[in-house]
């Protein structure tokens, strides 16, 4: 953690405005709940009102309209979460890794590793691969034949990039990520009684500024490319099938599964454990609730939820109704009996 | 990629029949969408009719009854996907790996590694393990004590085979697969207030021609065996519990979870994110839709879908009805009021 | 496997009582289904009655009230599963690993590795890390800067502990586990059109006697700690987000996903593929059925099931009703028509 800074210095750097003691010295950053009395926190949503009122933080990044707190120091900013991200990065810069290649790394003579890259112990780099400037490869990383990795990428321990994978600049791959394993494609041979493998000879292409969470697998295309668009962020243990194309600036949460050949637009948010069936098209800015299963195309801007991808508002109505269903069945029986009584009276 | 071939040569090799220019030279294979004008593609389902009509491919593998396309070259075959698999393998044979053991591999003196096997950097092979002819172990693979790996297996980077695991011939294990980690078994000790581990002392046995996707975990049996049957194909990030038995020729898609002691028959298809509760029996040729949760035994040949394993046709009916449920609740109230009106008139 | 023992010796050791031949010699342990005629098994639930009646086991650990079996030898115990765990551990003690550090391990000079620890090939231990007595690190393990690993921990191949992670005593981490990858946190910068990373600078803390299954990922906190409580057992491919706190003695089954900042109480059971949305509080002793999605807080002792976390009993009622829903829609239409008939007669 870097040296302390005053509220005034911080506000100046991020373009905020101090309400309170501009000379107060900030020793670090923390969430509202965990902040100690020298720490700076942030308030980004009414959902955390209770935490705001109970925080011991020295100061809070917040919009003008945050609830008042007795004696609090504020830095007023239009986007508190963004401001917090910037201040936290200032206090906790990523520790640089010295350039150079560990003696135990196994690098093919035809591979090109930029001299400013850091190649740690037991890294394996195969024929013709290219590693860009300032990129860092942690121990146990495997770089297959012909892989191209851009500049300033961080590739954490035991990540595997199979042959031909192309990765842009400033990409982060967390531990255990697998890019470019074979897609899941077979043709059944009824005579031989065997699933015959369809060779998976395409690649995976990761655009700039993508981050991929631990254990996530992104399969190579059957032919052509599987693509993750610029600035998209993917969480842990996500499965992305062959020939999937994901647009820029998406957020894909933990354990999502996307089957083969799905096209996902720009700025899409998929919450945890969502599943998308193969060959579908998901429009731009679509938001999908956790665990939703999507079985048909989704238009731009839609919010979808629940089994088989209800529209979000319809799913909420359904779930409310669902709780009443057992009682409903009884009600129908009662109505039926009363109707029978009436009918008997009519036609005795 | 190998040298070019004419349509005539290809048709002869796979037993198909050319309609069009038998001398046209094919430079490679691709999907209908991505094929360039020298490439061969395939049309396997009416679902891809639009892609067929729009393709730039030089020629298409298709059945006789495919929709006509102006000026297209065809190779007529009974099973286009299978033919495509064969042609693609011809154009893209798996690059052979030279036999021999890398100096950095750590091999126990009592292990037997066939001289035709390829053991790459930083592979670890423990006591008494056996590696068959022509098998390839990529960097970072761990082979536990007493493991038996058959012939012509491909074991990709950082795969882990714990002690005693038995693998047949022509098995492919993608990056990060874990075979033989402990099953999840504990007994609660109320006095000590502790979950006491039930030792997991069985093994995993993988039969011939199985393929296991990246990151998939198959647990060892408590006692006895966890078994994956001949020719079954498993996708990425699948979890298979202790003592599960899966029959031959199954297809198990991404992120499926199968709890302990489940028996799965032959030729079963489990779509993505399916879950099966412990100790159940799933018959032969069962097909299960994506995200289905199975909580009871399933008979041979059944198609099941949705929460708690509806029969597929019932689930479709339910989902259609579900959309109408909120309106239904209102309708019931209206009927009730009308009935009350009538009853009042009858007995004023 | 150790030498044989008599039923009498085993009963004495675990505090059970033999019914049958105290001198019978037990050669090992096995499940009811797989036991051979020299093996000891156990009967813990009426669910396995059929297996009990068909078993070939020499003897069975069971409560007094187990169904009678002709000619069976019994060891009567109050908790058969617990007794089985103890006997199995006696027959199958974990093979000890010799202390010492493999020459290929890369250990930073400032790291402290206890001389009784076993550090296998290609392990990487970064600056200032501490490895406790009798701990075993398998090949390919990565230990980040400042990690503290307690005594008698088993860390299986290719496990990754990122910087600052703290692990207690007697913790088992199965192959491919990732502790301390970054949590999934971004703030959107509308001007730059980018998801800006919120630095994840907290840690993961694993308390004593925890076991973590293969491929499971537990993210570091944004600030503060992600905590797994004493004696909690976690299965394979589970995703646990930043700042999650899980109480002691939980059981978390395969492929569960827990989003950021969730608090889970003591003794909670989460069945396979359960998902919990962020910032929720799950009480003590809560039991959650497989695939349940939890979208709101759950009180102590509750059983929850199904989509959006129904109370378990309500979900069962709903699922029963759900099967009747399509028929219900038709019934409503019929009732409506009959009502219309009656109304016409009343007011013609």
Q: Which pLDDT tens digits describe chain B residue by residue (348 residues)?
A: 456 799 999 999 999 999 999 999 999 999 998 899 999 999 999 989 999 999 999 999 999 999 999 999 999 999 999 999 999 999 999 888 999 999 999 999 999 999 999 999 999 999 999 999 999 999 999 999 999 999 999 999 999 999 999 999 999 999 999 999 999 999 999 999 999 999 999 999 999 999 999 999 999 999 999 999 999 999 999 999 999 999 999 999 999 999 999 999 999 999 999 999 999 999 999 999 999 999 889 999 999 987 666 777 777 777 777 777 778 888 888 888 888 888 887 766
- Give the pLDDT band of residue C114 (cuts 50, 70, 90): very high
Q: How do residues C250-299 score in pLDDT, each as one tens digit?
A: 999 999 999 999 999 999 999 999 999 999 999 999 999 999 999 889 99
ipTM of model: 0.93
pLDDT above 90: percentage of residues in chain A = 83
- Give the pLDDT band of residue C321 (cuts 50, 70, 90): confident
Q: How do residues A62-104 score in pLDDT, each as one tens digit?
A: 999 999 999 999 999 999 999 999 999 999 998 889 999 999 9
Residue A1 pLDDT greater than 60, yes or no: no
Residues of B within 8 A of A324 (CB-CB) are 329
Per-residue model confidence (pLDDT) at position B348: 60
Nearest CA in chain C to A330: C321
Average pLDDT over residues C194-199: 97
Nearest CA in chain A to B104: A104
Instruction: Give the side-chain half-sphere CA count within 13 A for A137.
Output: 34
Measured CA to CA, the distance from residue B263 to residue B247 in angstroms comes to 8
Instruction: Return mean pLDDT, chain A.
Output: 94
A138–B contact, CB cutoff 8 A: no
Measured CA to CA, the distance from residue A226 to residue A229 in angstroms comes to 10
Average pLDDT over residues A323-329: 79
Per-residue model confidence (pLDDT) at position C309: 63
Per-residue model confidence (pLDDT) at position A240: 98
Is residue B294 within 8 Å of residue B264, measured between CB atoms? no
| Residues of C annotated as catalytic (active site), given as ranges | 242
Per-residue model confidence (pLDDT) at position A286: 96
Q: How do residues C17-48 score in pLDDT, each as one tens digit?
A: 999 999 999 999 999 988 999 999 999 999 89
Which residue, among B218, B275, B334, would best test binding to C if mutated, counting the most C CBs under 10 Å from its CB?
B275
Chains with at least 3 CB pairs less than 8 angstroms from chain A: B, C
A69–C contact, CB cutoff 8 A: no
Residues of C within 8 A of A274 (CB-CB) are none
CB contacts under 8 A, C 173-192 vs A, are: 176, 178, 181-182, 184, 186-190
Considering only CB atoms, B142 lies closest to which of C158, C249, C273, namely C158
Is residue C30 within 8 Å of residue C12, measured between CB atoms? no
Measured CA to CA, the distance from residue B40 to residue B32 in angstroms comes to 9
Is residue C24 within 8 Å of residue C7, measured between CB atoms? yes
Residue C1 pLDDT greater than 60, yes or no: no
Per-residue model confidence (pLDDT) at position A307: 66
- What is the nearest CA distance from B110 to chain C, expressed in angstroms? 17
Q: Do B233 and A195 touch (CB under 8 A)?
A: yes
Q: How do residues A99-124 score in pLDDT, each as one tens digit?
A: 999 999 999 999 999 999 999 999 99
CB neighbour list of residue A3: distance below 8 Å, 6 or more residues apart: none
Nearest CA in chain C to B346: C346
CB neighbour list of residue A200: distance below 8 Å, 6 or more residues apart: A182, A183, A185, A219, A220, A221, A222, A242
- What is the nearest CA distance from B238 to chain A, expressed in angstroms? 10
Per-residue model confidence (pLDDT) at position B307: 66
Per-residue model confidence (pLDDT) at position A3: 65
Per-residue model confidence (pLDDT) at position B250: 98
Q: Do B122 and C120 touch (CB under 8 A)?
A: no
Q: How do residues A219-277 score in pLDDT, each as one tens digit?
A: 999 999 999 999 999 999 999 999 999 999 999 999 999 999 999 999 999 999 999 99
- Could you tell me which of B256, B249, B202, B201 has the C-alpha nearest to residue B228? B249
DSSP 3-state of A346: helix
Q: What is the dihedral of CA B147, B148, B153, B158, to 10 degrees?
A: 0
Per-residue model confidence (pLDDT) at position C86: 96
Measured CA to CA, the distance from residue C90 to residue B322 in angstroms comes to 55
The DSSP annotation for C110-155 comes to T-EE-TT-EE-TT-EE-TT-EE-TT-EE-TT-EE-TT-EE-TT-EE
Considering only CB atoms, B184 lies closest to which of C82, C213, C339, namely C213
Residue A316 pLDDT greater than 80, yes or no: no
- What is the nearest CA distance from A290 to chain C, expressed in angstroms? 8
B29–A contact, CB cutoff 8 A: yes
Which residue, among B124, B213, B254, B329, would best test binding to A if mutated, counting the most A CBs under 10 Å from its CB?
B254
Considering only CB atoms, A140 lies closest to which of B158, B211, B213, namely B158
Residue C66 pLDDT greater than 90, yes or no: yes
Residues of B within 8 A of A139 (CB-CB) are none
Q: How do residues C204-254 score in pLDDT, each as one tens digit?
A: 999 999 999 999 999 999 999 999 999 999 999 999 999 999 999 999 999
B51–A contact, CB cutoff 8 A: no
Residues of A within 8 A of C217 (CB-CB) are 176, 213-215, 236-237
Considering only CB atoms, A326 lies closest to which of C190, C195, C318, namely C318
Per-residue model confidence (pLDDT) at position A8: 96
- Beta strand pairing call for C17-19 and C73-76: antiparallel
Residue C318 pLDDT greater than 90, yes or no: no
C39-42: strand order across its sheet: C17-19, C73-76, C59-62, C39-42, C28-29
Is residue B169 within 8 Å of residue B187, measured between CB atoms? no
pLDDT above 70: percentage of residues in chain A = 97
Which residue, among A202, A217, A316, A333, would best test binding to B if mutated, counting the most B CBs under 10 Å from its CB?
A217
Residue bearing tokens 């740690």: A120
Q: Do B325 and C326 touch (CB under 8 A)?
A: no
Chains with at least 3 CB pairs less than 8 angstroms from chain B: A, C
Per-residue model confidence (pLDDT) at position A148: 98
Measured CA to CA, the distance from residue B169 to residue B210 in angstroms comes to 8
Is residue C194 within 8 Å of residue A209, measured between CB atoms? yes
CB contacts under 8 A, A 187-216 vs C, are: 209, 211, 213-215
For chain B, what's the residue count? Answer: 348
Packed helices B7-14 and B80-91: angle between N→C axes, nearest 10 degrees: 120
Residues of C within 8 A of A33 (CB-CB) are 224
Nearest CA in chain C to A239: C237
C152–B contact, CB cutoff 8 A: no
Measured CA to CA, the distance from residue A241 to residue B255 in angstroms comes to 11
Looking at residue B69, what DSSP letter applies? -
- Could you tell me which of C128, C213, C133 has the C-alpha nearest to residue C164? C128
Q: How do residues C150-192 score in pLDDT, each as one tens digit?
A: 999 999 999 999 999 999 999 999 999 999 999 999 999 999 9
Residues of A within 8 A of C322 (CB-CB) are 322, 325
CB neighbour list of residue B211: distance below 8 Å, 6 or more residues apart: A182, A197, B171, B172, B173, B174, B233, B234
Per-residue model confidence (pLDDT) at position A326: 78
Using alpha carbons, list the distances in angstroms from residue A259 to A29, A206, A274, B242.
Answer: 40, 18, 11, 27
- Give the pLDDT band of residue A149 (cuts 50, 70, 90): very high
| Residues of A annotated as catalytic (active site), given as ranges | 242
CB neighbour list of residue B327: distance below 8 Å, 6 or more residues apart: none
Chains with at least 3 CB pairs less than 8 angstroms from chain C: A, B
CB contacts under 8 A, C 114-133 vs A, are: 122, 124
């Amino acid at each position: 953690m870097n040296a302390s800074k005053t509220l005034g210095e911080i506000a100046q750097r991020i373009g905020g405005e101090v309400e309170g003691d501009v000379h107060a010295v900030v020793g670090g950053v923390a969430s509202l709940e965990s902040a100690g009395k020298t720490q700076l926190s942030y308030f980004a949503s009414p959902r955390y009102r209770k935490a705001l009122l109970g925080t011991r933080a020295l100061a809070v990044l917040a919009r003008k309209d945050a609830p008042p707190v007795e004696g609090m120091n504020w830095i007023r900013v239009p986007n508190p979460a963004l401001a917090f991200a910037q201040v936290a990065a200032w206090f906790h810069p990523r520790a640089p890794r010295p350039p150079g290649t560990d003696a135990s790394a196994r690098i093919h003579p035809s591979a090109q590793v930029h001299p400013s890259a850091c190649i740690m112990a037991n890294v394996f780099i195969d024929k013709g691969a290219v590693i860009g400037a300032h990129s860092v490869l942690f121990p146990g990383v495997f770089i297959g034949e012909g892989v191209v990795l851009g500049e300033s990428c961080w590739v954490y321990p035991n990540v595997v990039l199979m042959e031909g994978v192309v990765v842009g600049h400033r990409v982060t791959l967390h531990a255990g990520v697998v890019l470019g394993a074979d897609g899941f494609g077979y043709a059944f041979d009824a005579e031989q009684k065997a699933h015959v493998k369809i060779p998976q000879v395409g690649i995976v292409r990761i655009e700039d500024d993508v981050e991929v969470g631990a254990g996530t697998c992104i399969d190579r295309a059957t032919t052509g490319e599987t693509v993750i668009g610029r600035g998209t962020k993917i969480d842990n243990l996500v499965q992305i099938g062959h020939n999937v194309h994901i647009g820029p600036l998406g957020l894909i949460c933990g354990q999502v599964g996307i089957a083969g050949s799905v096209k996902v637009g720009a700025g899409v948010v998929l919450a945890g454990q969502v599943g998308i069936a193969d060959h579908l098209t998901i429009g731009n800015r679509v938001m999908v609730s956790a665990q939703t299963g999507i079985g048909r195309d989704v238009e731009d801007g839609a919010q979808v939820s629940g089994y088989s991808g209800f529209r979000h508002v319809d799913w909420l109505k359904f779930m409310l109704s669902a709780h009443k269903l057992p009682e409903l069945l009884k009600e129908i029986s009662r109505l039926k009996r009363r109707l029978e009584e009436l009918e008997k009276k009519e036609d005795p």
